[in-house]
Amino acid sequence: EAGVTQSPTHLIKTRGQQVTLRCSPISGHTSVYWYQQALGLGLQFLLWYDEGEERNRGNFPPRFSGRQFPNYSSELNVNALELEDSALYLCASSSWFSPTDTQYFGPGTRLTVL
């Protein structure tokens, strides 16, 4: 069974640009979560999508947004990039059957903002 996949693996952007990150959950999982892991910091919760709807968001500005598609894959969009947006962006998925059960993580997308 394929795990959570994310693309691209690495990305370099400049300040002010926009970026889109993509995530495909494990087959059968309906919930997708996005986290930001900046250097030296823990995981900061960004967004949670389930059944195509945004269910919760963390303490991030509105320029961080996303969506979930009918096939449960998800995109994270970041507008007007700032230097401090440089981080590893992790996507995780979980099952509708037991949503408080394990979250399974993808390998992440490393975003560098110059």
Instruction: Give the separation between CA 108 and CA 92, rounded to whole angstroms.
Output: 9
Q: How far is the CB of 81 from other proteins (least distance, A)?
A: 22
Buried b / exposed e over 88-98, threshold 16 CB at 10 Å, is bbbbbbbbeee
Which residues, numbered 1-60, are part of the site for other proteins (CB under 8 A)?
Answer: 4, 31, 33, 35, 41-43, 45, 48, 50, 55-56
Closer to other proteins by Cβ: residue 30 or 79:
30
* CA torsion through residues 23, 86, 47, 101, sign: positive
**How many chain residues touch other proteins (CB under 8 A)?**
25
Closer to other proteins by Cβ: residue 50 or 85:
50
Q: Determine the interface stretch with other proteins among 11-19, 62-70, 75-83, 99-107 (rule: CB under 8 A).
A: 99-107
Write the binding mask 77 to 96 for other proteins: x where contact by CB under 8 A, - elsewhere.
Answer: -------------x-x-x--
Closer to other proteins by Cβ: residue 91 or 113:
91
Residue with tokens 């087959």: 27
Both structure tokens of 47 = 């967004």
Nearest to 76, CA basis, from 22, 10, 7 = 22
